[in-house]
Each structure stands twice: as C-alpha cells, then as structure tokens.
Amino acid sequence: MGIERRSIVYDGPGGPFEGVAVVDGDWDTPRPGVLIVPNVLGEKEQDRVTAERIAGLGYAALVADLYGQGKRTTRDSPDPAMYMNHLNADRPLLRDRLFASVAALHALPQVDAARTAAIGYCFGGKAVIDLARAGGDVLGVVAFHGIFDPPGYDYPCPIGAKLLVCHGWDDPLATPDAVTALAAELTGAGADWQLHGYGGAGHGFTDASMTGSTRPGFGYDANADRRSWAAMTGFLAEVFG
C-alpha cells in the first residue's frame, strides 16, 4: 500500500479541528508518532509533504490543526497572521489545543502512544516549545526557526520533554538576547535541551518557497535546511530509543 494520507477530525477547545495523518499502509505494528505543527498559515500541502518525509523515516505523522476546521490563510490573505495572533494573545488556549492535537496523535492506531514527539516551524516552533514547557505528553520536541518568548503562565518543572532548537542566527524574530534568555529559562527549568545555531541563516530557513527573499533576515537556506533535518533525525532516533 505504501505511504498514504488521511484527514483526521478531532475535538478540542474551539474546535472541531482537522489535521492530516500520514502513515505507511504496510505497517503491521504501531510506530513512534510525530506531531507536525505548521507555521503561521496553518495546515497546508507543505506540511503534508513534511509528514510524508517523516513517514519515510518509519514514523507515523499527524499534521496538527491549531486554528480550527477550515481556518487557514495564505501569504496573499489580507491578514495572514489572523489566527496565529489569536493564539499568541491566549497562550493557555494554545497549550490546550496542543494537548488536544497530541491526544489525536496518540489515538491513531498506527501510533505507539508511549513514543511520540513533536516538531514545529516558525509559529509551530514556538508552539512545540510551549508544549514541552507545559508538560505535554511527548518525549521530545524540535523547533525550526521558532519564536522563544515565554508563555506567561507557570508550568511544571523540571521540563520532562527533551528539546532541540534549530535556529537561524540572523533571525530578527529571535535575536541573540532572546536565544540567551531561552537557554537560561530552559536551564532553570531543568530541561534536557540543545540548540543548533546556523550562521548566515534567518527566519524560515527550511521554507523553500522563501527562496530568493529580499526581506533582510528572512529566507530559505539550503545548508541550514539540510543540517537541521539531519539533527532532527538523530534527535528522534535518540528519544524513541
């Protein structure tokens, strides 16, 4: 049968939500599961392709929907960040929707619920760091060009999930001061964390659709994309054992 996609509708605060599960139909035993949290635009084809790459590594994948069924934007929308801004203003709601998405991942029959992780891009990177902060039921998280501001609520310590933060050093949305503050926060919270900084790379370095961007500090970087994916692959192999 090979790798296949399937829409998954699940409940949560402000739902329903609709994500996309990607698995290999030839699997006959549950696999580790990876939640994929999209960037500012929400679930889209780019994320489904990432899920297929994850399935190619031997893991079940679920592209999360944090905005709600049918709530998506594009770069040409009047306000591409409208749904993201709502969650940025209500981080407890973001946390609760992340928990609902993890529960949907755990409910997939192809997933070994004891071995799950989450990865996220841009806003999704911020979200998965919040997932780790809040004690989400995952073994580890990977943030690609995420945002690092703390959520403004108390969270359990020590942080149980391991963290890999893949960061473009020239990202104007996460300055060196923000990186240092995140490192101090995670260390103070007793987290097992690592940070990979990519020189010359900015925000969106994994996003090939941003190739040729003339906006300073934003754009695709093939080296950082390749290196961060390799780092993620090794990290997932470690946390899944």
pLDDT for res 1: 62
Residue 31 belongs to domain spanning? 3-240
Cα atoms in the 13 Å half-sphere on the side-chain side of 54 = 32
Domain CATH for 170: 3.40.50.1820
Q: What string of DSSP letters covers 61-123? A: EEE--SS-TT----TTSS-TTHHHHHHHT-HHHHHHHHHHHHHHHHHSTTEEEEEEEEEEETH
Of residues 66, 30, 62, 67, the one with CA closest to residue 48? 62
Listed in sequence order, the residues at least 6 apart from 9 whose beta carbon sits closer than 8 Å to its beta carbon are 16, 17, 18, 69
Number of domains the chain contains: 1
Where the chain has pLDDT below 50, the residues are none
Q: Alpha-carbon distance 216 to 94, whole Å?
A: 29
pLDDT for res 20: 98
